[in-house]
Structure 1
Amino acid sequence: MLKSSKGKTIVFLLMISLVGAIVYQFLTRPNYIAVSNWEVHESIDEVGWSAEKLNRAREYFDSLDSTAAMAIYDGKILFSWGDVTKNTNAHSVRKSFLSSLYGIQVEEDLINLQHTLDELNISDEPPLAENEKLATIEHLLTSSSGVFHKAGEESWSMRRNRPSRGSHEPGTHFYYNNWDFNVLGTIYNDETDSDLFHHFQNKIAEPIGMEDFSLYETEYKNEESRSIHPSYLFQISARDMARFGLLYLQEGYWGEDQIIPQNWVKESTSVQMEVPNNEVYDYGYMWWVATDGPFKELGLYSAVGRYGQSIDIVPEENLVFVHRVDSNRRTLSFLQGNVSQKERLHLLSLILAAKE
């Protein structure tokens, strides 16, 4: 009897958990219209889009683990799906945020992309080899430093694919390297004698009117058993990511103000390094740049993060598309959703097909 009662209790608890998971998924699906400072296209058809075809794209969105999506066309909201106001982990989209700050500092001659790790007094534990110290800031921006050191926030695939130390000279090999990206955070703070999160707030978030961004939801994550350089994590909403994307679509302008140097927008979103085994993208300065197929013809470039985060900018269609998967929902392991690059780009293709 005791074993039977215990078994029934376990089954009951599992059923409650499952119901909770279903309720959670349901609550993350509605359209959130509370986008207070954005103008909205009142008639999709009148601006050349098919509502019927966008509904098909929405059906595909609903079939994925996506939790929010948003498209900005001609500076106004085309559609808003899910909770676009909730701040969730941007994952590697953070790297494109930092790229924008580098552009501002390079324009002001406060950072020199040709400075080496040796000149910048960058170290780690275990120490860097002499040839590794020759890597420049530009090599870090293009993820080609040749420093294959352990790093914070690495995924399992990053660890599996990391080349051995000393196997490639700086600037000769692309490897998506969190050591490079995290060290760029350290260098930025050292060279500006400031804090990248505060700079992002003052130089970008406030000038372009981000509505949900908060310094309280940013974090330096230390994993000193791997590296002394922390990762810099952003919790940010879909609608604030859309503003950032629109800033780039407008070549760094917001109204009449030049927020990010125009030449940096062009340079950072142009191919700087070829990416082996990626059928869609090569790499700029912490931006992914489409170099094949129809996406190349549309001028697509993207800020991309783990589990399906993205800001996809399509200049030829005057479109910004933001896709989110809320990776904070970890009450049960199977709630950790994921949308692959193939699925996200298929969704984007369905959206673009709705343009008439």
Structure 2
Amino acid sequence: MGKNCLAWLLAACTCLAADAASAETFERITPAQAGYDADRLEQLRLLLSERGSEAMLLLKDGKVFFEYGDIDAKRLVHSMRKPLLSALIGTELGRGCLDLDKTLADYGIDERPPGLSEAEKSATLRQVLQSRSGVYHPATAETEDMAAARPARGSHAPGTHYYYNNWDFNVAGAIFEKCAGQGVHEAFAERIAAPLGMRDFTGRIVSLPDVAALPVWADGFRQLEPDVSRYRAYHFRLSARDLALFGQLYLQRGQWQGRSLVPADWVDESTAPASVTNADYGLAYGMLWSSLVPGPDQKRPSFYHAGVGVHMLGVYPDLDLVMVHRVNTEQPYSFNGGDLYAVIRAMHGARND
């Protein structure tokens, strides 16, 4: 056998051994051990089946006590891409270039002619991450509803108004890439996915004008609409299992097996409420994370992000709970936002209090 063939065989064996070792990403415990009622969790399982969910995972202290559906299937995470970028921002802070109080002008950010105004360029990176930049320029991957709700240019000064703004999110990715000297997807694969032991995200990324032509094997794509904006949207595909790993990392304040993958201070700062978005329900937005306004006795707020109103990654520190819910949104689906609220209520209703 030639040297090259032997090397290939050894590498293949190593990969197979690694796959076998990581076949069970999480330890399993019973619902009772997690403090949940098994019968009520079975009612949750029935609800998921009736409403059209594809997958759901519940972790207590990093251990799975409820699993439903295909947790291996990679699906577009949609707006849940924002917390992934937030983690990368945290990894780059303190390295010199990235500074939350630098302005868009400092980073050389401008737009298609006629460009940004001086007032718009005065927005800081912190305000961009909070979706409070006051820059209401059309954005790549902006939905019709977002475009219709977008305020008029110049209607709000930077820092004075919250608007869920894909332009902010896309520019945050561009600023990260400029400072890191590395692409968003490549940095995620190296700094987050590999250390966490993600099994399904392999970093195979393509550039496309839209999702319609996305190959089934791709882990994400870079989307640019040059007639709309200079800045790309960075889309990801992740499995329920890999999203749960990411949620567990944040539950542990960025610490993983003795390493700090994301600074704990950044986890706390980025998930804390910066803008109350619905006072009646206690909903807020931090920096690329949604959060719940904490009660007086809570040490850390619960935080989450949804995708097209049906996907969700939720982290509940006071309960030591991570929740992932997925729907196959890459084909026609019936699940809706109201169904997601029903799932969340059933999940919390299964707890033994």
TM-score (norm 2): 0.84
Percent identity, please. 34
Q: Residue 267 of structure 2 aligns to a residue in which SS? A: helix
Q: In the alignment, does 2:125 pair up with 1:123?
A: no
Change (3 A) 1:72 1:210: same
Q: Which residue of 1 aligns with 2:174?
A: 186
Q: Which residue of 2 aligns with 1:325?
A: 327
Asked whether the 8 Å contact 2:251–2:320 carries over to 1, the reply is yes
Query: Which of residues 338, 345, 350 is equivalent to 2:341?
Result: 345
Q: In the alignment, does 2:131 pair up with 1:143?
A: yes
Q: Residue 92 of structure 1 aligns to a residue in which SS? A: helix
Asked whether the 8 Å contact 2:311–2:325 carries over to 1, the reply is yes
Asked whether the 8 Å contact 2:171–2:231 carries over to 1, the reply is yes
In 2, Cα distance between equivalents of 1:278 and 1:336: 30
CA RMSD, Structure 1 to Structure 2 (Å): 2.1
**Which residue type is aligned with residue 151 of structure 2?**
P
Q: Which residue of 2 aligns with 1:80?
A: 67
**Which residue type is aligned with residue 348 of structure 2?**
L
**Which residue type is aligned with residue 141 of structure 2?**
E
Change (3 A) 1:276 1:163: farther
Q: Which residue of 1 aligns with 2:148?
A: 160
Name the count of aligned residue pairs.
316
Query: Which of residues 88, 110, 113 is equivalent to 2:97?
Result: 110
Q: In the alignment, does 2:281 pair up with 1:279?
A: yes
Note the 1:191-206 alignment, pairs <5 A. Answer: 191-206=179-194
Deviations 1:66-96 (A, max 9, x none): 2111111121111111111011100011111
**Which residue type is aligned with residue 115 of structure 1?**
K
Compute the displacement of 1:307 (Å): 4.0
Q: Residue 118 of structure 2 aligns to a residue in which SS? A: coil
Q: Which residue of 2 aligns with 1:94?
A: 81
Asked whether the 8 Å contact 2:271–2:301 carries over to 1, the reply is no
Change (3 A) 1:253 1:297: closer
In 1, Cα distance between equivalents of 2:175 and 2:280: 29
Q: Which runs of 5+ in 1 are unaligned?
A: 1-34, 330-334
Q: Residue 107 of structure 1 aligns to a residue in which SS? A: coil
Deviations 1:227-275 (A, max 9, x none): 1101000011110000000000011111211111000010011011232
Change (3 A) 1:157 1:278: farther
TM-score (norm 1): 0.84
Asked whether the 8 Å contact 1:90–1:235 carries over to 2, the reply is yes
Q: In the alignment, does 2:241 pair up with 1:239?
A: yes
Compute the displacement of 1:277 (Å): 6.9
**Which residue type is aligned with residue 26 of structure 2?**
E
In 2, Cα distance between equivalents of 1:150 and 1:47: 46
Q: Which residue of 1 aligns with 2:232?
A: 230
Asked whether the 8 Å contact 1:65–1:339 carries over to 2, the reply is no
Q: In the alignment, does 2:200 pair up with 1:212?
A: yes
Change (3 A) 1:86 1:278: farther
In 1, Cα distance between equivalents of 2:33 and 2:320: 16
Q: Residue 67 of structure 2 aligns to a residue in which SS? A: strand
In 1, Cα distance between equivalents of 2:104 and 2:144: 27
Compute the displacement of 1:292 (Å): 7.0
**Which residue type is aligned with residue 75 of structure 1?**
G
